[in-house]
């Protein structure tokens, strides 16, 4: 039963439930019928005895005495009971006087002997190996005892007839019921089969939603959930596709300039004035930088390998500034570091925070003018730590600040060196710390101020 | 031949501009799609080298809009998008050729020559007029069976006149093609250039049509 089908489960459970309900109720109904038939027959038996007694009292005892000792002819029961006509004599009488003399007896009850009054009014006895039901009535006024008897066979025939009448249609109905059950179960499960077919024949590249016409209430949530899942997968695929296209652009462009420059360099210095080789080198550096950034971004997407630890933001800032000062051109912008006296501790991802600050400062240095000014500040601000990086470059107009956060976005004024990639890294690292990133106007006339607020 | 390069990457843009200038083309390098479209609409441009992933206005939009404005200038797309769909999309929008980054300078030059040939209805890379022949691929100039060394500008001027041999080429058209968008061109720079060319070839190789421009006759002797 590892993979029972809903259909067979339904068929079995409905079938078993039907049996569990029908058998006891049928049994109860049968018992009830039996009791009623017995009560009815007993009443008839008693009434027959009284009737006989009344007749005897009208005609007088004397008339009975004349035929004393001679059994009466059996009284055949007329009509049909059940399937077969009943010819057997199933009813009988006996009249006994006060002295125990049998005054009147039917042939079938002759071997009964003298029925004595005083015992129970109704009795079950065996006469000629047949079970009889007897009713004995003592008429003290006339001094006679009247006994009416009925063979049990007769009652059985009545019962059988009743059973046939009620049970046969039911029994005939059962196979029909089974067929109807199968049909309705199959019909109810048809949408599931359709859904399975739809899903089976769906290609992996298919982006369309599954439409199941007339889906029942129970299946619609499944269809909706599936469609939601398909849509999310579609979006994820689309994002991946765009990401790889953007990655291709980020990497192929510096590769292209490397190749063009090297081709020019090969043609000789008369051709290119000797500038191609340094340019090719710079292009390769740009390629290396972008590769690093892409890898960093990919690493930040998955934090399972990154430990969450206590990090001092001041120490991270100092390390970032040290590295950037060492590699930065002498005639570039100056880099200022503003730190509080006490360390700023928080629990977070050290490498992510390092990447965040490094990319913010690198962007600022790239956009600051020659001999411009870039500052990195770390401070407490209420229940949060704040990192601020400002430059005195051209800034970003307020209406385009949203757009620069898009991955791989390139501002027309930037030098095209993975501007958006840097901000994507910043944004991702900020999200890891539930931090907010704001682009603001720098204190100087123009220039950009990026504020990252990390709640503790 | 005036070529516009629309590429937002500084290093690639400068590298292409420098390399093509050494191949005797006049190159203007622009960094946004909007600037590229502007140049296409307002100037006589012989060929556009267009990157697709541009800030503000995407390369495909530039092509679509340029074609909508009935600009017939050949457009050579250079892009990092190498999927078949984006190729089809680019060509369907109206690009004439498609190059995937990275590419070699030789390939770039060959495709530019091929597009220029197609635009001028030429079968090969050879321009000939009597005793004068120009090889557009090797940049070799032969006159009366002698090799002639020309500067880039001289070659560019001669190529332009040879392409339209037997017809008068207007001054403005020559300046646009040879000097491109350069603003610091002295008023008599063209005269000086023509004079230098005549000295290397022969005085009768280039005719002056006063008030209009210059012309190379059909059968130079």
Q: What is the rounded average pLDDT for all residues in chain B? A: 88
Given an 8 Å threshold on Cβ–Cβ distance, is A249 in contact with B55?
no
Given an 8 Å threshold on Cβ–Cβ distance, is B80 in contact with A251?
yes
- Give the domain ranges of chain B: 2-120, 126-215
Q: Which residues of A touch B19 (CB under 8 A)?
A: 260, 263-264, 272
Which of A237, A243, A260 best tests the B interface by mutation, with the highest count of B CBs <10 A? A260
Q: Which of B11, B105, B108 sits opposite A283 (nearest CB)?
A: B11
Q: How many other C-beta atoms are found inside a 10 Å radius of the C-beta of residue A214?
A: 9
* Model pLDDT for residues A386-420, shown as the tens digit of each residue: 999 998 888 888 777 777 776 555 554 444 454 56
Query: Is residue A351 within 8 Å of A295, Cβ to Cβ?
Result: no
SS3 state at A406: coil
Which residues are within 8 A (CB) of A248 and not within 5 positions of it... i.e. 6 or more apart? B80, B81, B82
User: Which superfamily is assigned to B2-120 in CATH?
Assistant: Response regulator (3.40.50.2300)
ipTM value, please give it: 0.75
Give the number of C-alpha atoms closer than 13 A to the C-alpha of residue B164, restricted to the C-beta side: 15
Assign A79 a pLDDT band (cuts: 50, 70, 90).
Answer: very low
**What span, in angstroms and rounded, lies between the C-alpha atoms of B128 and B141?**
10
- By DSSP bridging, strand B75-79 and strand B47-51 are parallel
Q: How many other C-beta atoms are found inside a 10 Å radius of the C-beta of residue A302?
A: 8
Q: Which residues of A touch B18 (CB under 8 A)?
A: 264, 272, 275-276
More confident residue, A246 or B211: B211
* Model pLDDT for residues A130-162, shown as the tens digit of each residue: 888 889 888 888 888 888 888 888 888 888 888
- Residue-level pLDDT at A418: 47
* Model pLDDT for residues A98-130, shown as the tens digit of each residue: 777 788 888 777 777 775 656 668 888 888 788
- Residue-level pLDDT at B62: 92
Q: Which residues pair with B6 in a beta bridge?
A: B30, B50
**What span, in angstroms and rounded, lies between the C-alpha atoms of A71 and A110?**
7
Q: Which of A253, A271, A276 sits opposite B12 (nearest CB)?
A: A253
C-alpha closest to that of A433 among A334, A346, A373, A362 = A346
Which of A205, A245, A252 best tests the B interface by mutation, with the highest count of B CBs <10 A? A252
* Model pLDDT for residues B37-78, shown as the tens digit of each residue: 998 888 788 899 999 888 778 889 999 999 999 888 999 999
- Residue-level pLDDT at B98: 92
Query: Is residue B97 within 8 Å of B104, Cβ to Cβ?
Result: no
CATH class of B126-215: mainly alpha
Given an 8 Å threshold on Cβ–Cβ distance, is B19 in contact with A260?
yes
Assign A302 a pLDDT band (cuts: 50, 70, 90).
Answer: confident
Given an 8 Å threshold on Cβ–Cβ distance, is B81 in contact with A249?
yes
Given an 8 Å threshold on Cβ–Cβ distance, is B12 in contact with A411?
no
Q: How many other C-beta atoms are found inside a 10 Å radius of the C-beta of residue A29?
A: 13
Which residues in chain B show pLDDT less than 50? none
Kindly tell me if the per-residue pLDDT of A258 is higher than 90.
yes
Q: Which residues of B touch A259 (CB under 8 A)?
A: 102-105
Q: What is the least distance, in Å, from the CA of A225 to any CA of chain B?
A: 31
CA torsion A44-A50-A55-A58 (nearest 10°) is -150
- Residue-level pLDDT at A85: 46
Q: Which of A257, A276, A410 sits opposite B55 (nearest CB)?
A: A410
C-alpha closest to that of B29 among B55, B3, B53 = B3
Q: Which residues of A touch B82 (CB under 8 A)?
A: 248
**What span, in angstroms and rounded, lies between the C-alpha atoms of A193 and A196?**
5
Query: Is residue A146 within 8 Å of A56, Cβ to Cβ?
Result: yes
Kindly tell me if the per-residue pLDDT of A269 is higher than 70.
no
Phi, psi of B137 (to 5 degrees): -85, -50
Q: Which of B12, B79, B100 sits opposite A260 (nearest CB)?
A: B12
Nearest CA in chain B to A281: B11
Query: Is residue A108 within 8 Å of A127, Cβ to Cβ?
Result: yes
């Amino acid at each position: 039963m590892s993979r029972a089908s809903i259909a067979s489960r339904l068929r079995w459970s409905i079938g078993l439930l039907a049996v569990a309900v029908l058998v006891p109720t049928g049994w109860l109904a049968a018992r009830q019928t039996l009791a009623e038939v017995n009560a009815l027959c007993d009443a008839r038996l008693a009434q027959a005895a009284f009737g006989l007694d009344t007749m005897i009292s009208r005609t007088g005892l004397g008339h009975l005495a004349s035929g004393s000792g001679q059994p009466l002819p059996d009284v055949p029961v007329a009509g049909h009971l059940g399937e077969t006509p009943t010819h057997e004599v199933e009813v009988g009488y006996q009249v006994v006087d006060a002295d125990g003399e049998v005054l009147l007896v039917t042939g079938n009850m002759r071997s009964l002997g003298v029925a004595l009054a005083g015992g129970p009014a109704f009795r079950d006895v065996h006469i000629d190996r047949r079970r009889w039901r007897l009713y004995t009535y003592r008429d003290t006024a006339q001094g006679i005892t009247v006994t009416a008897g009925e063979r049990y066979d007769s009652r059985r025939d009545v019962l059988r007839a009743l059973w046939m009448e009620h049970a046969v249609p039911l029994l005939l109905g059962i196979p029909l019921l089974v067929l109807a059950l199968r049909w309705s179960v199959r019909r109810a499960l048809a949408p599931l089969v359709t859904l399975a077919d739809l899903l089976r024949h769906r290609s992996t590249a298919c982006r369309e939603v599954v439409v199941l016409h007339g889906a029942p209430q129970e299946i619609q949530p499944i269809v909706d959930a599936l469609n939601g899942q398909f849509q999310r997968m579609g979006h994820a695929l689309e994002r991946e596709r765009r990401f790889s296209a953007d990655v291709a652009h980020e990497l192929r462009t510096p590769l292209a300039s490397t190749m063009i420059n090297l081709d020019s360099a090969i043609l000789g210095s008369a051709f290119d004035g000797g500038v191609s080789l340094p340019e090719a080198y710079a292009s390769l550096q740009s390629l290396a930088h972008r590769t690093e950034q892409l890898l960093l971004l990919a690493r930040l997407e998955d934090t399972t390998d990154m430990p969450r630890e206590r990090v001092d933001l001041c120490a991270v800032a100092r390390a970032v500034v040290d590295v950037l000062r060492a590699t930065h051109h002498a005639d570039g912008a100056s880099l200022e570091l503003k730190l509080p006296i006490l360390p700023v501790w928080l629990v977070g991802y050290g490498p992510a925070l390092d990447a965040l600050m490094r990319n913010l400062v690198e962007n600022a240095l790239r956009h600051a003018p020659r001999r411009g000014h870039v500052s990195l500040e770390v401070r407490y601000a209420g229940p949060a730590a704040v990192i601020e990086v400002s430059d005195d470059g051209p800034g970003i107009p307020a209406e385009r600040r949203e757009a620069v956060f898009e991955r791989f976005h390139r501002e027309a004024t930037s030098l095209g060196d993975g501007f958006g990639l840097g901000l994507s890294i910043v944004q991702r690292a900020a999200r890891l710390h539930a931090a907010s990133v704001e682009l603001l106007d720098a204190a100087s006339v123009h220039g950009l101020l990026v504020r990252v607020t990390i709640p503790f | 031949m005036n070529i516009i390069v629309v590429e937002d990457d500084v290093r690639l843009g400068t590298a292409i501009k420098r390399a093509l200038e050494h191949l005797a083309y006049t190159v203007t390098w622009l960094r946004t799609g909007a600037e590229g479209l502007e140049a296409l609409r307002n100037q006589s441009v012989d060929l556009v080298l267009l990157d697709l992933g541009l800030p503000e206005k995407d390369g495909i939009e530039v092509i679509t809009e340029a074609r909508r404005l009935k600009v017939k200038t050949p457009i050579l797309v250079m892009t990092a998008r190498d999927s078949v769909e984006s190729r089809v999309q680019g060509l369907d929008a109206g690009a004439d050729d498609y190059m995937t980054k990275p590419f070699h300078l030789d390939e770039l030059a060959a495709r530019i020559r091929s597009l220029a040939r197609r635009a001028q209805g030429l079968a090969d890379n050879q321009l000939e007029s009597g005793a004068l022949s120009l090889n557009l691929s090797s940049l070799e100039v032969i006159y009366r069976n002698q090799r002639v060394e020309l500067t880039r500008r001289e070659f560019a001027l001669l190529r332009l006149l040879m392409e339209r041999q037997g017809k008068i080429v207007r001054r403005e058209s020559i300046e646009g093609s040879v000097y491109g968008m350069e603003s610091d061109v002295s008023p008599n720079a063209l005269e000086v250039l023509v004079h230098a060319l005549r000295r290397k070839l022969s005085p009768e190789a280039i005719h002056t049509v006063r008030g209009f421009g210059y012309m190379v006759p059909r059968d130079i002797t």
